[in-house]
Amino acid sequence: MTFETDYLVIGAGASGLAFADELVRRSDAHVTLVDRRDAPGGHWNDVYPFVRLHQPASFYGVESIELDRGELEASGPNAGWMSLSEGPEIVAYFHRVWREKLLPTGRVRFIPMSEAEPGDAPGPVTVRHRLSGERTSVTVRRKVVDAARFTNAVPATHQPGFEVAAGVTCVPPNDLPRRAAGFGHHVVLGAGKTAIDALCWLLSHGAPASSITWVVPRDSWFFNRAKVQPTMAHFDGTFTSAAEQREAMAAATSVRDLAQRMEACGAWLRLDRSIEPTMFHFATLSEGELGLLRRVGRTIRMGRVTAVERGRLRLQRGEVEVPSDSLFVDCTASALSYKPPVPVFAGPRITIQMVRIPQPTFSAALTAFLETQPGSDDERNACMRPVVMTDTVDDYPRSQVTDLANRHMAARIPAVRDWLARSRLEGFTHLLAAIGPGDVARQAIVQRIRAASPPAFENLQRLAAATRGASA
Ligand SMILES: Cc1cc2nc3c(=O)[nH]c(=O)nc-3n(C[C@H](O)[C@H](O)[C@H](O)COP(=O)(O)OP(=O)(O)OC[C@H]3O[C@@H](n4cnc5c(N)ncnc54)[C@H](O)[C@@H]3O)c2cc1C
């Protein structure tokens, strides 16, 4: 089999869909999406049922369809804050994007259950169907788009990196609602967003705090949800915090000092104030969620798990006993993958990467927008330097240097500036653009952010260089 297309997009997850959505809206291109999975939406198709976004839904998904229901969270530890969307809603949303936006154009094809290797375009790319083994040769007239470079690992699809002894029940969080009631004790493995969701689920569904053990390989800094509320109703709190964060970045004498300043101004949170976190994955948490987590009966900080056995946990720094009727919940999949950055625009290939952190879908949509604009790859790449995802807090200044440099360069291109001022996925700029010149109080907040930005950028460069030097 053979066919032709203008753009072959490898990966129909949130990134591939956000790219395709913006591209077909702004051009007459024909787009083919190919994915190993059977439906669009990427890893969201395999997530646990009680997953939620950790950022407001108002700036997640694709540019053309709102995901947010326009309501505040009505109950639970995030009550009162902007809606986060639940897993089934997110999956249904991406299926809707396909059915209602992409398919009706007549210019988008989806090839499910198939694998493609990013080849060179223009030229044929081979797509192999995973069930039939059948091969399709796709002639790509314009570009191959790699939207799968940062394919997420989720608990339901990853292979745990520890041994599970015979007779022990160790499940992904997908099974928690079904299995939890059959066990007297629950041991949650991992300290990322998934583990936090599992613990909050257990505690808010009646599991006694004393029946929970939490294995925390590393403590993390979190963004405070209260400070990430991009609506006019929360304008003052959100943007005053942005100003305070820039001022902290400008004044910090070290990464440690920066973290303490971020905490002092309420922008960052941590689980235990007596422990200095090393991890930083841009997770966002509310004080309500933190309050629940602090109730957990037993927290074990002895490194990563190496083996789970009946009544026993083996860890990098020793072993501990746990009740023999424990259900182990594997939340150790690392959604994030670390790959070296490559240019986003490189001749016949586009490689989707984060150019604003932590905003993968915004980054993909901006990539598509720039693709439809005149200009060379070099001109486009000038405001599209990939921001490498952080692992530790020491990585934070570097990520911010690239992020701020991209913002600065983007603002110099009038078409991009206009696009940003209207972009739903960017989340914040359209709010700034909406304040009138007579709104003196809010203009003062904006002015404070502007004034702090150049010294913040300069100081972050120094902090980034210092951490690079220390790790060399
Ligand atoms: C629990 C959780 C909560 C999150 N919350 C947020 C949030 O609130 N806000 C936010 O911005 N982000 C959030 N994220 C990050 C999230 O991962 C991204 O927003 C986004 O979903 C990533 O989409 P993706 O398309 O890049 O990757 P994926 O969803 O992994 O999609 C990549 C797709 O590519 C396919 N693929 C890979 N290789 C090939 C190949 N060779 N051929 C064909 N197909 C291939 C895979 O099958 C996969 O379907 C969250 C992540 C998790 C795990």
Residue with CA closest to ligand 1 atom 6: 53
- The minimum-distance atom of ligand 1 relative to the CA of 51 is 1
* Judgement on whether residues 242 and 139 belong to the same structural domain of the protein: no
CA of 16 to the centre of ligand 1 (A): 9
Average pLDDT over residues 164-179: 96
* Judgement on whether residues 30 and 178 belong to the same structural domain of the protein: no
Domain boundary among 335, 350, 368: 335
How many domains, the chain?
Answer: 3
Domain boundary among 317, 335, 353: 335
Query: Looking at the domain assignment, is residue 419 inside a domain?
Result: no
Q: Tell me the per-residue pLDDT of 320-375, one tens digit each, with 9 for 90 and over.
A: 999 999 999 999 998 777 789 999 999 999 999 999 999 999 999 999 999 999 99
CA of 346 to the centre of ligand 1 (A): 22
CA of 466 to the centre of ligand 1 (A): 32
**pLDDT at position 151:** 87
Determine what percent of the chain is predicted with pLDDT higher than 70: 98
User: 121: pLDDT confidence band, cut at 50, 70 and 90?
Assistant: low
CA of 459 to the centre of ligand 1 (A): 33
Say how far apart CA 52 and CA 50 lie, in whole Å: 6
* Judgement on whether residues 62 and 134 belong to the same structural domain of the protein: yes
* Judgement on whether residues 54 and 195 belong to the same structural domain of the protein: no
Domain boundary among 320, 335, 350: 335
Query: Looking at the domain assignment, is residue 420 inside a domain?
Result: no
CA of 147 to the centre of ligand 1 (A): 9
- The minimum-distance atom of ligand 1 relative to the CA of 362 is 11
**pLDDT at position 124:** 85
**At CA 43, angle to CA 218 and CA 74, rounded to 5?**
75
pTM: 0.96
**pLDDT at position 472:** 46
Higher-confidence position of 152 and 359:
359
Domain assignment of residue 327, given as a range: 154-219+270-335
Q: Are strands 345-346 and 326-330 parallel, antiparallel or unpaired?
A: unpaired
Ligand 1: residues within 6 Å at CB?
10-11, 13-16, 34-37, 42-43, 51, 53-55, 60, 115-116, 147-148, 150-152, 154, 193-194, 335, 358-361
Q: The domain spanning residue 58 has which CATH number?
A: 3.50.50.60
* Judgement on whether residues 72 and 182 belong to the same structural domain of the protein: no
Q: Is the pLDDT of residue 414 over 90?
A: yes
Query: Looking at the domain assignment, is residue 423 inside a domain?
Result: no
Average pLDDT over residues 14-32: 98
* Judgement on whether residues 42 and 80 belong to the same structural domain of the protein: yes
Q: Tell me the per-residue pLDDT of 200-256, one tens digit each, with 9 for 90 and over.
A: 999 999 999 999 999 999 999 999 999 999 999 999 999 999 999 999 999 999 999
* Judgement on whether residues 105 and 192 belong to the same structural domain of the protein: no
Q: Is the pLDDT of residue 156 over 90?
A: no
* Judgement on whether residues 47 and 58 belong to the same structural domain of the protein: yes
CA atoms within 13 A on the CB side of 21: 30
* Judgement on whether residues 314 and 193 belong to the same structural domain of the protein: yes
Query: Looking at the domain assignment, is residue 159 inside a domain?
Result: yes
- The minimum-distance atom of ligand 1 relative to the CA of 197 is 1
* Judgement on whether residues 190 and 309 belong to the same structural domain of the protein: yes
Q: Tell me the per-residue pLDDT of 97-111, one tens digit each, with 9 for 90 and over.
A: 999 999 999 999 999
Query: Looking at the domain assignment, is residue 82 inside a domain?
Result: yes
* Judgement on whether residues 302 and 343 belong to the same structural domain of the protein: no
Mean pLDDT (the chain) is 95
Query: Looking at the domain assignment, is residue 359 inside a domain?
Result: yes
Rg (CA), the chain: 23
* Judgement on whether residues 77 and 138 belong to the same structural domain of the protein: yes
**pLDDT at position 20:** 98
User: 84: pLDDT confidence band, cut at 50, 70 and 90?
Assistant: very high
CA of 402 to the centre of ligand 1 (A): 22
